[in-house]
Structure 1
Amino acid sequence: EVEFESKPDDFVIQVGGLQILGSERHESRRIDRQLRGRSGRQGDPGSSQFFISVEDDLMRLFVGDRLANAMDKLGASEGEVITHPMVTRAIETAQKRVESNNFESRKRLLDYDDVMNQQREVIYDRRLFALEGGEDLKGEMWEMIEHNVQSTVDEYLESEHEEEWDLSGLKRRITLDYFTALKGLPDEADEAD
């Protein structure tokens, strides 16, 4: 038994320093290292120990049943402490997989962000053009409408054979996009005849 003297820091050092107990391993090795680093600050004594289960999310999702099967073959009983290098490697492999997946997700997110920024710049340029009373605002507007209508027509009438054209789909789309009805195109009821 250690007797408490004057400073709490002295007491902590006398009993072995800060003890970090982890109830599972984090997906990120960096977080695990940060937790370990808390235990021995500035040369003070300390230790860290992690307790994991093959049923933890990290182990279950990224290591699967292989480790549990290997433990069964080794004759490990439930609740037994296992400090085998195979377990350490399995944990590190699982953490590397998670970190790699997370990195790819962040990378994809940045790619999407770049596309969004490009689109935002185009919209801001168009808006500024309109606000400043651009030279031929009406002409540009009609040019954009013509381009969009042509793309829509190409989409619904892409076949060379007239009988394969989706005229009712084109009519619905133009009506929805431009709030106007097209005259001369058959209705769905007419097509059924």
Structure 2
Amino acid sequence: HLRKRRAKWTHGLPAVVEVRVPAEVAAAIAPEPDAEYVGSQDRRSIAQWAQTGVKQGDGSALKLAAGNDQQAYLFAPTGARGPVFLATVNFDAILHYNQSRRYGLAVSLLLNRLQGGPALAAAWPTDDPGLSRAQIKELQEMLYGLGYEVGVADGIPGAKTRDAVREEQARRNLPQDGRVGKRIYDAIKETWPPVAIRTRPQ
């Protein structure tokens, strides 16, 4: 499939490599678990990433059998609190076939395991599971109904949605992490609809 779509695939090169990043690099990654970070505009060689203090996920020196001149960029699918990866041209090749980064990551991790790679060292932030796009859209509509300015309910959690979630978490004495997840979704659903609800203009 990748060849048919003329995607560039480099044999022997992992699509993603789990890494540990130093504080100055991690500072660019938002802490919110739903704040996906894709640093595809900042591509460096594996050797250059190693020079910044980036290490393998297990803490060992960063190096690739395919060569340390391979280009890669940082990818943190669940913010700074979850696993962080270096994504290579092979990850781009998978996205060329299917543009979903979740799909691309799942395929990449499966390939790593099938080739004898280690399991992930960092834990996924699973204490507050994520939502489907339909559920995020529903949450955005409920937040709008509660009076928050979240913009269009499109199922994509942007800054306005996270700010609204953070305010609603504070109102409900929940941890104010801005997480667009099951915890705040269920909390609002349990008391829905409110006595006073704002409706969108027709």
TM over 0.5: no
- Per the normalisation by structure 1, the TM-score is 0.24
Q: Which has the higher helix share?
A: 1
Mark the structure with the bigger radius of gyration. Answer: 1
- Per the normalisation by structure 2, the TM-score is 0.23
RCO higher in structure (CA 8 A, sep ≥6): 2
Q: Which has the higher strand share?
A: 2
